[in-house]
């Protein structure tokens, strides 16, 4: 009997379990309004590419938010409608003028921030529309009309250039993957022996035989194209 393939091992092995005790917590914009918080700590989180900022609110509670470039310990973060256009302040996108860079924007009002959350990333306010929406250019370059009541943080997210540093050793790549519960190194199935993977073996590294499997196939054989509607090259429609 061959070894368990990756799809089986991921279900039970602690190797793919993320060490959650290393994470300071989730980062979401606080659901408060017309308050000014203070940055008490800049936090490194292995699971985030950008640094986090711990914000202390007037009621004594603390909240983690992704840190905007320019923030430092002791900086003030204003949350509400009438805030200054200063990096780190949080307000609805209807209050932000056109041409302003923003980060950590909500997709739906109140979700705490979903867009432009990776290091050095930002979106751009393009236009305020009459339909009660705001046109925002996303980091991908696509423009999208968002509800005007969605909140965002003013400025560009910190941590730019972090991914540009080369991984000089295989160990660095291993620990980078381990921090996120990823597999490293990742070996393709066709490079394995027949006993180790359904795609293994043969004189050439190719999937010989059908590589489509049913939706209800067991984990030991559920590799390749899972329940595909079609396979092969797409053929143009004949006129």
Q: Which two tokens stand for residue 236?
A: 């143009």
Q: Which two tokens stand for residue 134?
A: 């705001």
Question: Going residue by residue through the chain (239 aa), what tens digit of pLDDT does each one get?
Answer: 567 787 777 776 777 777 777 788 889 999 898 999 999 999 998 888 899 999 999 999 999 999 999 999 999 999 998 899 999 999 999 999 999 999 999 999 999 999 999 999 999 999 999 888 999 999 999 999 999 999 999 999 999 988 788 999 999 999 888 877 788 888 999 999 998 888 999 999 998 888 899 999 988 888 889 999 988 877 765 55
Give the pLDDT of residue 154: 97
CATH domain 21-162 topology: SH3 type barrels. (2.30.30)
CA 1 distance to own-chain centroid: 38
Instruction: Name which of 27, 23, 3 is nearest 13 in CA terms.
Output: 3
* Greatest C-alpha distance within the chain: 70
For 73, 220, 226, the CA distances from 194, given in Å and listed in that order, are 57, 13, 20
Q: In the CATH scheme, what is the code of domain 6-15+181-226? A: 4.10.950.10
* Whole-prediction pTM: 0.73
Q: Which two tokens stand for residue 191?
A: 């490079």
Give the pLDDT of residue 210: 86
The answer to whether 104 and 153 are in contact (CB under 8 A) is yes
| Residue listed under structure tokens 């056109």 | 98
CA 90 distance to own-chain centroid: 20
Domain locations in the chain?
A: 6-15+181-226, 21-162
Question: Residue 9: exposed, middle, or buried by beta-carbon count in 10 A (0-12, 13-18, 19+)?
Answer: middle
Instruction: Name which of 72, 35, 34, 36 is nearest 53 in CA terms.
Output: 72
CA distance 83 to 239: 59
- Collapsing DSSP states into helix, strand and coil, what is residue 158? coil
């Amino acid at each position: 009997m061959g070894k368990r393939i990756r799809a089986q091992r991921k279900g039970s092995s602690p190797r793919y379990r993320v060490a959650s005790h290393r994470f300071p917590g989730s980062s979401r914009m606080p659901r408060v309004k017309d308050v000014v918080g203070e940055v008490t700590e800049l936090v490194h989180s292995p699971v985030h590419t950008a640094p986090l900022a711990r914000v202390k609110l007037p009621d004594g509670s603390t909240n983690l938010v992704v840190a905007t470039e320019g923030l430092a310990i002791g900086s003030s973060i204003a949350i509400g409608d009438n805030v200054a256009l200063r990096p780190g302040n949080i307000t609805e996108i209807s209050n932000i003028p056109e041409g302003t860079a923003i980060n950590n924007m909500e997709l739906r009002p109140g979700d705490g921030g979903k867009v432009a959350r990776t290091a050095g990333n930002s979106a751009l306010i393009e236009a305020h529309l009459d339909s009660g929406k705001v046109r925002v250019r996303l980091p991908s370059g696509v423009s999208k009309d968002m509800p005007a009541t969605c909140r965002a943080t003013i400025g560009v997210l910190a941590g730019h250039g972090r991914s540009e540093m080369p991984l000089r050793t295989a160990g660095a790549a291993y620990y980078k993957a381990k921090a996120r519960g990823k597999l490293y190194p990742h070996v393709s199935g066709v490079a394995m022996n027949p006993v180790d993977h359904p795609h293994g073996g043969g004189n050439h590294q190719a999937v010989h035989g059908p590589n489509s499997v049913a939706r209800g196939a067991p984990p030991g054989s559920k590799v390749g194209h899972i329940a595909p509607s079609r396979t092969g090259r797409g053929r143009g429609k004949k006129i």
